Amino acid sequence: MNLCKNLLAVSVLCLALAPCAGAPPPARVKVVVATDSWDRLMYLDKRKVPSGVLADFVNRMNVVQDKFRFELVIYPRLRVDRAFIAGQADVYPLRTMAWTNPALGLLPTKTIFTSGDVYFSTRNNRFGGAEVFRDLKSRNIAGVRGYHYQLFGNNPDEAHLKLHFRVDLFGSNEQVVRFVMAGRADIGIVPEVILARYLADPKMRARIIVGPEYDSLVELSHLVRRGGPISVGQMNAIVDQMAAAGDVARLKARLSIRGGARPRR
DSSP 77: G
Cβ distance 177 to 117 under 8 Å? no
Is residue 256 scored above 50 in pLDDT? yes
The predicted structure's pLDDT at residue 21: 52
> φ and ψ at 93, to 5 degrees?
-80, 145
The predicted structure's pLDDT at residue 175: 95
Angle between helices 192-199 and 173-181 (to 10 degrees): 50
DSSP 23: P
Query: pLDDT: is 11 or 100 the higher one?
Result: 100
**Range 152-165 average pLDDT:** 94
Confidence category of residue 231, pLDDT binned at 50, 70, 90? very high
Parts of the chain belonging to CATH 3.40.190.10: 29-114+218-263, 116-217
State the amino acid at position 225 in one-letter form: R
Is residue 150 scored above 70 in pLDDT? yes
The predicted structure's pLDDT at residue 7: 47
Cβ distance 77 to 171 under 8 Å? yes
What's 29-114+218-263's CATH class? Answer: alpha beta
3-state secondary structure of 88: coil
Q: Which of 16-25, 170-179, 199-208, 228-237 has the lowest mean pLDDT?
A: 16-25
3-state secondary structure of 193: helix
**Range 2-11 average pLDDT:** 51
Return mean pLDDT, the chain.
89
CATH of domain 116-217: 3.40.190.10
Rg of the chain, C-alpha, whole Å: 25
